[in-house]
Amino acid sequence: MIQHPAILALMTASLIVSGLLLYAGWFGIRILKNWDLASGSELQLNLERRTYLIATIMSYALLFQIISLFLYLYTADGLHILFTGAMCAAGTLQVNSYGYPTLILKLINCLLAGCWLIVNHADTRGYDYPLIKPKYVLLLGLVLLVLAETVLQFNYFLHLKGDMITSCCGSLFGSDKPSIAGELAGLPYRIMRPLFFSTMAVLACCGIRLYLKGTGGYLYAALSASAFLVSLAALISFIGLYYYELPTHHCPFCILQQEYGYIGYLLYATLLGGMVSGSSIGLLMPFRRRPSLAPYLPRLQQRLVLLSLACYLLFTALVSYRMLTANFRLGG
Amino acid sequence: MIALNQVTKNFAIGPATSFTAVDNVSLTITRGSMTILKGPSGSGKTTLLALIGCMTRPSSGRIMLQGVETSFFQASEAAEGFDSSSLPERFLTEIRRSTFGFIFQQFNLIKGISALQNIMLPAYPTGEQQPVVKQRALGLMEQFDLLRHRNSPVEWLSGGELQRVAIARALINNPIAIIADEPTAHLDSQLSQAFMESIGQLKDNGKTVLIASHDPIVYSSPLADQVVEMRDGRIVRQEPLP
């Protein structure tokens, strides 16, 4: 194993977050089994008091979980110099079979953690713990995924050896490769470019409608998830080409490097922010009519729409600016 | 209406150190009535007041508040009431500010500032306009014959005047209920009678009054609608019977 400060930080943090989540998960099972707001039993009142502690612990743990995604990417990118063939995080993650699964789980956990934090925030606005059970069901799912992520991450770092030969990103994200990365890189820009901009336009229209009229929450959540996937595909298919100013370089990781001004972190952060806030709107939709949440939830959803739109529009503005100013043109 | 259902409060929960201050108390306090809690020192009166006034939470049991409207509780639901013992802390703050007015045994007035400022103090966190609050405070000072002391620091006031400032302060946010803990403990008989007259006026104006006291002037007062006797955390006698 390579003893790098960032690796040690990630592993320690994963252990702490997993421990906290295990405790919260055990408490969640007690909540799901015993919660009865009509009861005045000592157990019920104890659960009510304890739920604030758990929510506070989880807020910090899950915030770190979100940050750890970026630290993981940053670490993987920084380690590429140790592996023969690696040019960026793409090659480092390819060193063993745990790198990419860990990244995918981190991404999923980051999205779920963001959603949980928003659901938790909504729950604390109601005087009668309106989302307590859905919140802990979601948390139990998250506990399992975070534990799986910790195991995968440990395996990934434990199996890192400095003398390994790996593939470069040009090879992994080559449009002629028979793999998912290759398929994404091979998506024709003539389809992806209009699809990306039209998705953003439809998302903006739906978001404005939801903000003004309060209708179409589920549609916006679905569109938000679609926009996230389309944007990721577009990033690999054609957006990255404008940053690299190379017609054949589709790597989604090189934009995380200093020579591109670390723009990748901003692009991915806006996408994650847009996806989390957008999809949370759909998660909250079934609870809009709960009496204790009815005065508050529509306002929260309005704020989430604004946040989600701001994130996606910032992403669109950033990539559009690059497409207009780069010394590179697709399609002549 | 305030309804307590099998309320228990334990301190320092543990096999060796546990102390039960209030033990399985059920009690109903109707709106606009005066309820007196009487009993010896350590009988649980103050803890029960603190539980009703949302200053502490029960270890078990429920406390329902009916007819109380708050920013988080819609008017249409008011008839059913809500359970104050399960409320998260951020909601309890609003209840303490708007529903209950507290009069403490030691008055707890702040020295160094004027009587008027003391009375206005509980209204500051509500964000209400200062001139509006000041006008209301002056109205209360006039009602309790304190106007000439409006700018006097509270340490210049006599025991009876301090008592009246404390009452005015309890009323500044126009609460539904007044909670007073041993309010006559530091007063002579004449001032205690005067206090009961002031409290009687509040009751006439529709306020619910809840007093903990072992002073006969208080618990023998004809103004009391209900006298609850406590001992060792339990209700041992209640007049009239529920």
pLDDT in tens, A238-262: 999 999 888 888 888 889 988 899 9
B91 close contact with A: CB closer than 8 A: yes
A180 vs B122, which has greater pLDDT?
B122
Q: pLDDT tens across A162-181, in order?
A: 777 877 777 777 666 667 77
What sign results for the dihedral spanned by CA atoms B98, B103, B109, B115?
positive
Contact A137, A80 (CB under 8 A): no
Instruction: Report the pLDDT value the prediction gives residue A332, as an integer from 0 to 100.
Output: 55
| Mean pLDDT in residue range B57-77 | 81
Residues ≥6 apart with Cβ < 8 Å to A274: A224, A227, A228, A307, A308, A309, A311, A312, A315
Instruction: Report the pLDDT value the prediction gives residue A161, as an integer from 0 to 100.
Output: 80
Place of tokens 């790996």: A166
Report residue B32 CA to chain centroid gap: 13
- Interface confidence, given as ipTM, is 0.76
Confidence bin at B81 (pLDDT 50/70/90): confident
Chain B nearest CA to A128, separation (Å): 7
Q: Which of A127, A128, A132, A135 to substitute to test the interface with B, most B CBs within 10 Å?
A: A127
Instruction: Report the pLDDT value the prediction gives residue B87, as an integer from 0 to 100.
Output: 86
Instruction: Report the pLDDT value the prediction gives residue A171, as an integer from 0 to 100.
Output: 72
Q: How far apart are the C-alpha atoms of A249 and B145, rounded to whole Å? A: 85
Query: Would the pLDDT of A182 be above 80?
Result: no
Residues ≥6 apart with Cβ < 8 Å to B205: none
B86 to A292: CB separation less than 8 angstroms, yes or no: no
Query: Would the pLDDT of B78 be above 60?
Result: no
Is the overall model pTM greater than 0.90, yes or no? no
Q: How far apart are the C-alpha atoms of B92 and A233, rounded to whole Å? A: 49
Cis peptide, bond prior to residue B240, ω within 30 of zero:
yes
Query: Would the pLDDT of B66 be above 60?
Result: yes
Spell out which residues of chain A touch residue B99, defining contact as CB-CB under 8 Å: none
Chain A nearest CA to B141, separation (Å): 36
Instruction: Report the pLDDT value the prediction gives residue B35, as an integer from 0 to 100.
Output: 95
Contact B72, A127 (CB under 8 A): yes
Domain ranges within chain A, ordered by starting residue: 1-167, 168-332
